[in-house]
Structure 1
């Protein structure tokens, strides 16, 4: 096989997630051609995509040392820094490439993604519009602009750019799903018919699993809208089956983590809590995914004294960096850090948060699965607040089953049994925290909020030491906090009750899930 074909084969391996073989083949090429910058970049890319981000950096740097104008390697290096939360290094590289190669569309797109991390959507849109000037038919850029407009609540612009993608690629299932999230199919069946035609197109069987899943999720949503629960479940089930392919979720690992947390916090003495030492504070909004965390953040972040940071990974990162390895905690190090005068956990968290340039002292962090880390919040963020969002278990788990999640940590969400088992683990965890730190936690129940919004919002604000502001009920109008999660379409609407008891239409199709949930009710 000649070099060109070997490279094509490696690129194919990367595209189908066979990273180990791709890395092995790259290493063979590097050994044979040690001065070839391209092969180092390719190997770095395979490492990056296989979540070996730290290792990828060495290869990208080597590629750049061999060829200082290898902008692809520089761009990939910036992406690796971004993935490791080394935001300054990432931004410096994007700016450097942009100066030397101002029409580099990939860099403009990736730099826009970095801006989105900090909720700087207008900056991101400007970068993407620059990219469109270079190539008005770049589907990735058009899709990204559509997503940006959706996140800031401009649904008309979002649809406008999404339709531009479909004009170029009528079979783009990702965009069909994107559009489906914004439509009510009781009023508009044209798009449903378009998706049905694509489903029956002879080429559909050759689509990748993820592409098929996108269309199945969209069809599932459309059929639910028109009250056809049988077909809705049929498509949702197919979507989840396709998402499960090539995912090997280790459920035992999360059970082990939870058990180790129970042991750790049963053995820690509350007397070693960190002292309140900063006027800066975080309102952590957590619970199961799809439990109302976005709604609650939109409400609270509409307050004049609060900024909404969205779904941050910083807390989990800081804990992993300092205390955790393979689900095991370094208890001695935790005790040492609690004894130190400086609170490095708090400081590292705010070091990352400072990239957002918020002008308020109070910030919301709505990463749902921060419920796992409530004990750490109690010990290291003593002046913070915890709002725990809950919802009817069956509605909650159905909503998870209906949605697609970008994070690999959510791989359990594509299996009925695992969704219910995870939910029961979450209940066990929350019961544990409430027994220990009940006064530290406010329960925000989704059903109560949507039926009695003003009284429930007043209770939340009081718990957060915030005065009443009517803007908190008008969050959908001010659009102060952008939304990147699966709740993005709902966040642009007033509080509504139609999400209550949504599971009733699916009860006979999700009996496997609901029976496991019933064992804990």
Structure 2
């Protein structure tokens, strides 16, 4: 065993150094000599995960657990592997078992809650977060996650309570302050506004924690009608976000160029085929803060349409095609060589990835990920009959709404007026390309038209999608479905028009943005 101990120590050193292939080779030699040395099998699973060989990582770890069902390190490693493999339901069961074996492992309960939330099971997720808070009432992740789950369920008072507790226990947490502001209609008290100002004064405004606080403070001044002070806070937040979140205008323009080049008219013209069977996706695209959540909520109120959430399935599919070693065989250029059989398999992969989100058995489901406007051509190839709904908004209103919003992740283009305008102009260029290639195939919904003539626009939208009109779509705000986006509170009230022309509040500050959009 002395030699085995030395071998195990050597393998751990290789793992720590990120040398996964040598670690795998060493593990294989060891388990061949000592097949019942379960620590070596566990390290093999770790090494395989590090190397991206998830199938063999799972096999090694399940072998350990067959012999030692309560092996916590192996269970924790397997849970991570299953997450990476998108086997989310299985991962939740592993995290549940970990927490059962070790009730002090709050991370396992939090992770299980996060996955359940991602699967649209916020009630179950909330139970996980409350279990953590029962043992650690001031746990920041637990408080915020409980607030997010309650908000998704429409339990606004519970969401506010959790966010306030987070702010009191962690006054320097920008995420806690921003979570309150993100409720949109939450009114900050004088004491809370002072606490945010004090938090910024006491720390460095260059710290990431200040980002959420600056946007929350902007929201607080907005509520008070102090629009110049509000815009000053948003600008400070955007300057910090720009420094923390890299984004390249040149790279994005090159991406749009590549998509336009990869999808000429003839490519889309030859892909007519039988799409996969139901349930069928309805893709909702556009820009963030354009009204896409409102459109999804309206559609999800129809008896034939299941609302989901911002599904990552299509971007993951395109990323898998981008990872190929030969640049000519990467997305988007690879689409020219995809035959009907390839497209059928890719369509099945997409539907299988969406399946855990679907529980109602309805004929259609929504895939509302605004940035999927980049992939409209690919969508048309995968699902020739699938409806594509494009939600758009006044350019200045849309850009200002993004510049006032702190995004939890991605959307790095929204952290300066220059970035935002460039992104918007490229989006507009690409949408013009799709409209030229697919005349009449894209259902365009203008936010301003929708909120000023909801009955007429909702009727037109449902007719364009081929589903009958239902009165429930006009009473979308009465739906009890979970909503996980920043607009969750806004779509739980009747349609209003007060968001039209919000840019005028800051008109004196927007000369540069207007000039950039006019390019």
TM-score by length of 1: 0.83
For 1:291, what is the secondary structure of its paired residue? coil
Change (3 A) 1:132 1:196: closer
**Contact preservation (8 Å) 1:387, 1:441:** yes
Give the whole-Å Cα distance in 1 for the aligned partners of 2:218 and 2:55: 41
For 2:443, what is the secondary structure of its paired residue? strand
Give the aligned partner of residue 422 of structure 1: 423
Q: Deviations over 1:4-56 (max 9, x none)?
A: xxxxxxxxxxxxxxxxxxx999529999xx99x9xx99xx89xx9xxx99489
Give the aligned partner of residue 293 of structure 1: 292
Give the aligned partner of residue 510 of structure 2: 510
Change (3 A) 1:404 1:166: closer
- Runs of at least 5 residues in structure 1 that lack an aligned partner in the other structure: 1-22
Q: Deviations over 1:195-227 (max 9, x none)?
A: 334423586324762211111101111112222
Higher radius of gyration, 1 or 2: 2
Give the aligned partner of residue 224 of structure 2: 226
Give the aligned partner of residue 10 of structure 2: none
Give the aligned partner of residue 439 of structure 1: 440
Give the aligned partner of residue 18 of structure 1: none
Structure 1 position 491, deviation (Å): 2.1
**Contact preservation (8 Å) 2:258, 2:333:** no
For 2:270, what is the secondary structure of its paired residue? helix
Give the aligned partner of residue 303 of structure 2: 304
Change (3 A) 1:433 1:117: same
Give the aligned partner of residue 345 of structure 2: 344
For 1:456, what is the secondary structure of its paired residue? helix
Give the aligned partner of residue 12 of structure 1: none
Q: Which of 235, 238, 250 is equivalent to 1:237?
A: 235
**Contact preservation (8 Å) 1:286, 1:366:** yes
Change (3 A) 1:79 1:517: farther
Give the aligned partner of residue 361 of structure 1: 363
TM-score by length of 2: 0.83
Give the aligned partner of residue 382 of structure 2: 380
**Contact preservation (8 Å) 2:58, 2:81:** no
Give the whole-Å Cα distance in 1 for the aligned partners of 2:364 and 2:207: 42
Task: Confirm or deny that 1:464 pairs with 2:462.
Answer: no
For 2:116, what is the secondary structure of its paired residue? helix
**Contact preservation (8 Å) 1:177, 1:214:** yes
Give the aligned partner of residue 149 of structure 1: 150
Change (3 A) 1:398 1:330: closer
For 2:208, what is the secondary structure of its paired residue? helix
For 1:438, what is the secondary structure of its paired residue? coil
Give the whole-Å Cα distance in 2 for the aligned partners of 1:224 and 1:449: 25
Change (3 A) 1:466 1:505: same
Task: Confirm or deny that 1:128 pairs with 2:126.
Answer: no
**Contact preservation (8 Å) 2:174, 2:210:** yes
**Contact preservation (8 Å) 2:99, 2:106:** no
Structure 1 residues 445-454 or 128-137, which shifts more? 128-137
Give the aligned partner of residue 247 of structure 1: 245
Give the whole-Å Cα distance in 2 for the aligned partners of 1:513 and 1:24: 51
Structure 1 position 123, deviation (Å): 1.2
Structure 1 position 135, deviation (Å): 2.8
Give the aligned partner of residue 499 of structure 2: 499
Structure 1 position 393, deviation (Å): 0.2
Structure 1 position 262, deviation (Å): 1.0
Structure 1 position 361, deviation (Å): 2.3
- Runs of at least 5 residues in structure 2 that lack an aligned partner in the other structure: 1-12, 28-38
For 1:365, what is the secondary structure of its paired residue? strand
Change (3 A) 1:200 1:332: closer
Aligned residues, how many? 482
Give the aligned partner of residue 279 of structure 1: 278
Q: Deviations over 1:454-491 (max 9, x none)?
A: 110011111111111111121111232x2222222212
Structure 1 position 100, deviation (Å): 2.5
Give the whole-Å Cα distance in 2 for the aligned partners of 1:170 and 1:395: 32
Change (3 A) 1:474 1:134: same
Give the whole-Å Cα distance in 1 for the aligned partners of 2:463 and 2:102: 52
Q: Which of 401, 404, 407 is equivalent to 1:405?
A: 407
Give the whole-Å Cα distance in 1 for the aligned partners of 2:342 and 2:253: 33
For 1:483, what is the secondary structure of its paired residue? coil
Give the aligned partner of residue 394 of structure 2: 392
Structure 1 position 80, deviation (Å): 5.7
For 1:285, what is the secondary structure of its paired residue? strand
Give the whole-Å Cα distance in 1 for the aligned partners of 2:17 and 2:247: 28
Q: Deviations over 1:262-319 (max 9, x none)?
A: 1111152512333234132111000011111101000001111111111111011112
Structure 1 residues 208-217 or 148-157, which shifts more? 208-217
